[in-house]
Amino acid sequence: MTEQALVTAFDSVLSDLDGVVYTGPHAIPGAVEALQRLAGFGVDLAYVTNNASRTPADVAAHLRGLGAPAEDHQVVSSAQAGARLLADKFPAGSKVLITGSDALAREVELVGMVPVRSADDGAAVVIQGFEPTLSWKELAEAAYAIENGAAWVATNTDMTIPQARGIAPGNGALVAAVRAATGKEPLVAGKPEAVLFHAAAERLGSSRPLVVGDRLDTDILGGNNAKMATAVVLTGVDTTETVLAARTAERPRFLLRTLAELFEPYPDVTGSNGIFSCGKSTASVADGTVSVSGDKDDVDSWRCACAAWWDAVPDAAVARAPELRWHGGSLE
């Protein structure tokens, strides 16, 4: 085990928000304090969010209200990525049907497009982003426009979003409703596409970023797509079980309980003769079963279980959960 904090290997942290920094309006315990510590280690910070319901300035103000370090330019949103995609593919002045927030409409205006709210306004393209007050009527307008030949861009396709009361439907669930009505597929601008992560790193001038998120299908897949180091935290959507079962493209490099573990040495995970060790835990695989010697509540047990399973199944196109057997004693 290296004696240096994990974060010292990187020059920036590109952090997700929902499920990492906060759930709903409230900060996750210890998250703000962890973010405040980054500057003392000389590590820059940017926030990469798929939530397109608020402007980067509003998000930054919310973060500052929680006590987290945040300037407006540190927030990189899927609404910005969606607007950039529109600018790349459509002429300036094109009419864009907004299926989402006023903040999304503002980003569309900033790239020279004309936001509209009705399919009867002759929209060339529909852009759809998360907005908690979105109604059936607005989803129907999107469907009408798409059926009439408009192109379709989704800021993101997260199926769920963590809230203070639990896990709620995300933009992906609303996109799925329009998909079911039209039979069409949108272009996706935000995570898990790599462009959002590259944009964040470029803003910071970062060459060694660490992507931190709570979702395998957006944060970790996107960071991996961007060829960056990735760390999943267990404070949001994904769990130790879903991380273990992850398909190859969504497997993180690091498994952390919370952001606070960025400032601890990351334990070595070693393998020999099919037995993988981490801390006091060991794991091996036989006949599709992962046998683990260690405490189920110890994240080191899951780290070595992941190493063993991923070594046994290196090319998984779909998520696959192994049978788990827990017992005491050493596997050696």
Q: State the alpha helices, DSSP H only, in 8-99.
A: 31-37, 56-66, 78-89
Rounded Cα–Cα distance for residues 174 and 191 (Å) = 16
Catalytic residue among 11, 18, 217, 300: 18
Distance CA 316, CA 276 (A): 19
Nearest to 151 by CA among 91, 106, 111: 91
The answer to whether residue 214 is catalytic is no
Cα separation, 184 vs 181, in Å, equals 8
Peptide bond connecting 314 to the previous residue in cis, omega within 30 degrees of 0: no
What values do phi and psi take at 211, rounded to 5? -85, 125
CB 258 within 8 A of CB 293: no
Local structure of 11: helix, strand or coil:
coil
At 91 the three-state DSSP class reads coil
Q: Under 8 Å CB-to-CB from 237, ≥6 apart: which residues?
A: 19, 160, 162, 167, 214, 215
The partner residues of 277 in beta bridges, in order of sequence, read: 270, 282
Residue in 157, 163, 87, 90 with CA at minimum distance from that of residue 123: 90
Buried b (16+ CB within 10 A) or exposed e, 222-231: bbbbbebbbb
- 140, burial (CB in 10 Å: exposed 0-12, middle 13-18, buried 19+): middle
Residue in 11, 16, 158, 219 annotated catalytic: 16
195 within 8 A of 217, measured Cβ to Cβ? no
Whole-number Cα distances in Å, 296 to 163, 222, 288: 27, 29, 19
Residue 238 annotated as catalytic: no
139 in Cβ contact with 113 (< 8 Å): no
Show which residues are catalytic: 16, 18
